[in-house]
Structure 1
Amino acid sequence: MLSETVSQSPRMVETLLASLYLPRWNTSMQLIGNGETLKIPVGTAGLVVVQGGEVTVSLAGSSESIKLAAADHAVSTGSQDAEIRPVSGAAKVLVATFDAIGLEHNRIDKLLPPLTLVQSREYESLMRTNGLLENATRSGLNADNWGDQLIISKLAEAILLQALATELDRSIPDLYDMPQELMEALSDRNIGPVIRKIWSDPSLPWTVPMMARLARLSRSTFAERFRSLVGEPPLRHLTEVRMKLACRLLSEGGLGVTAIGRMVGYENGSSFSNSFKKWSNLSPLEFRKQAHNGADEKAVEGASEPDVPSGQPAY
């Protein structure tokens, strides 16, 4: 069990993004007037980046919406119509769209919610990427000119990749080498949202009835369907997610056992320690010591390698 703690998500994210297919890619700068609505139809995936003002983005048939301020990003997977409205006055947005089959082609849509908000101010990489677009528009690029339109289109593509990378990095469990059945479970309209919510918020006081409500299923139907798709009961899956996150936090150091326990959903250090030992056969402190000793041994091995003089091959 402990041997599974090697992170797989960076490699997975890189693979998914490298094979991203953007059929019918189209970009435009849009000025949305007060009271107007800009729609992205079902079957069309979209990226919205606010350039000025504030907007709300919602999915058709839903009473909920997300609010975007300047430089914020929203990504829609195209599973439903998306509607963009200014909060007050007019708003300027960059809108990039492509056929949703591009996400289905490499299964990114299975890992994303139908609508994602990424606040660029929380991520330096997104601020840098969006800054390229801001600099381009300030320098006088005109979206009506073919050459300028191509530059804006390529910048928008870079922003989309960065937004997707940011969302996938935070939504895919760091310690999962995702099996086929879990990928299929993520595509289920009822079970998928529950899995993603467990991964993003493992510290919530989860219960099976709470999960069933999120899945919009009865408790018994939810439990049976979850086990059938994921291969284990929902609470056991929750424990795996919590314990693997705890392993990473313990390995990194810096946080006490009680603090880590609370971060992964336990009320106190004692209950966390008992659960962790039952799961790993080691106490949290024993695991931390073992992890740190392993890191020290690797450092010593690296330091013991003989230096190779410049320009000489190493045999």
Structure 2
Amino acid sequence: MTPTPKAAAVAAPARAVLGEVDRLLARLEWTLLDFGQRKLAAGNVVAVPPGSTRFHYVVSGAVETTAGGAPVRLAVGDFLMLPRAGAHRILALQDAVLASGELETAASMGLPLTLTLPETFAACGFVVREPHMGPLIETLGLEFGGVRAGNSVMASRIATIIASAAIRSWVENGCAPDQWLVSVRDPHIARAVAAMQEAPGEPWTVETLARVARASRTVFAERFRELVGDSPSRYLAAVRMEQAGDLLSQGDLSVGAVAHRLGYSSDVAFSRAFRRHTGVSPAAWRREADSRVQGVTA
């Protein structure tokens, strides 16, 4: 059957996006820095330190993580990836086995893909969509730390396949935000997005971001809004609030320290922006995060 003009018009952008994702994944090589499995009894809490890029795969049972601020529940076969892993907690909702690892990656052509990804994303039902990934994760455990020649190389290549499949599953499930899908289509805009993700506390302006994107102020502002669907200033505010939720949930920094790290001139200005974005104050957000942890450990 010949597709109608309308159907063809809808399919073309989708094919273009998938083609860009293909090209980005083809340029990525991941190095496996650490990997292991742990058994968790129901109610156990594990503190995970910050790292480069971390992932968690639920072999059995169910867990909840506070990564990214809001709690994320993971069941058997789910895969969670943290491209810019801050400190977070893993809470065992029932007896569970969790496979976790740390990756390091670099993208060619100056595009740091992990900085254009969200702080955390889940590929739910990962082994249902990608049934060959379960055995690969088991093989990863056998290769990592082995004494045979090439063990580390084999482990990293297997990890590359697993991480790339997780990104693919995330995109195909419709979970990838629009701003990520469009930004990967323009490396200049992607550089500006990455800069804001990497250093949200910098005093970014349209002019400084335009220089990062190697474009004039007018061209950059128009192109950014066209691709991302929002202005650079509003996007930066959203990035700051995402990271604020994560920092507040970790509980290591005061509200004032979080405000300073994210570039706010005062606690009052930060609290006002946080409440406008989330509907609650920073203190209330932190109390809710603490109560979730206490509820599991009680």
Relative to the length of structure 2, the TM-score reads 0.51
| Contact 2:127-2:134 within 8 A present in 1 as well | no
In structure 2, the partner of 1:48 is: 56
Deviations along 1:90-136, one digit per CA (max 9) or x if unpaired, are 3111112124x647974112331111111125962x233225446x6
Residues 236, 98 of structure 1: CA spacing in aligned structure 2 closer, same or farther, 3 A cutoff? closer
In structure 1, the partner of 2:20 is: 12
Residue 135 (structure 2) pairs with residue 127 (structure 1) = no
Residues 180, 12 of structure 1: CA spacing in aligned structure 2 closer, same or farther, 3 A cutoff? same
Deviation of residue 38 (structure 1)? 3.2
Counterpart of 1:95 (choices 70, 81, 100) is 100
In structure 2, the partner of 1:111 is: 116
RCO higher in 1 or 2 (8 Å CA, sep ≥ 6)?
Answer: 2
Q: Give the whole-Å Cα distance in 2 for the aligned partners of 1:43 and 1:144.
A: 19
Task: Give the gaps of 5 or more residues in structure 2.
Answer: 1-8, 211-216, 231-298
In structure 2, the partner of 1:69 is: 75
In structure 2, the partner of 1:31 is: 39
In structure 1, the partner of 2:165 is: 162
Deviation of residue 15 (structure 1)? 3.0
In structure 2, the partner of 1:83 is: 89
Work out the number of aligned pairs and report it. Answer: 200
Alignment of 1:1-315 (within 5 A): 7-23=15-31, 25-59=33-67, 62=69, 64-88=70-94, 90-99=95-104, 102=106, 106-120=111-125, 124=129, 126-133=130-137, 146=147, 155-168=158-171, 170=174, 171=176, 172-173=180-181, 177-189=185-197, 231-232=221-222
Deviation of residue 35 (structure 1)? 3.9
Deviation of residue 46 (structure 1)? 0.8
Q: Secondary structure at the match of 2:30?
A: coil
One-letter identity of the residue aligned with 1:128: H
In structure 2, the partner of 1:283 is: none
Q: Give the whole-Å Cα distance in 2 for the aligned partners of 1:25 and 1:162.
A: 19
One-letter identity of the residue aligned with 2:93: V
Residues 190, 223 of structure 1: CA spacing in aligned structure 2 closer, same or farther, 3 A cutoff? farther
Which is greater in Rg?
1
Q: Secondary structure at the match of 2:66?
A: strand
One-letter identity of the residue aligned with 1:94: A
In structure 2, the partner of 1:296 is: none
Q: Give the whole-Å Cα distance in 2 for the aligned partners of 1:66 and 1:163.
A: 16
| Contact 1:181-1:231 within 8 A present in 2 as well | no
Q: Give the whole-Å Cα distance in 1 for the aligned partners of 2:16 and 2:107.
A: 20
Q: Give the whole-Å Cα distance in 1 for the aligned partners of 2:77 and 2:165.
A: 13
Deviation of residue 76 (structure 1)? 0.5
Q: Percent identity?
A: 14
| Contact 1:223-1:234 within 8 A present in 2 as well | no
| Contact 1:26-1:153 within 8 A present in 2 as well | no
| Contact 2:80-2:122 within 8 A present in 1 as well | yes
Deviation of residue 152 (structure 1)? 6.8
CA RMSD of aligned residues (A): 4.5
Relative to the length of structure 1, the TM-score reads 0.48
Deviation of residue 21 (structure 1)? 3.7
Task: Give the gaps of 5 or more residues in structure 1.
Answer: 193-220, 241-315
Q: Give the whole-Å Cα distance in 1 for the aligned partners of 2:143 and 2:199.
A: 45
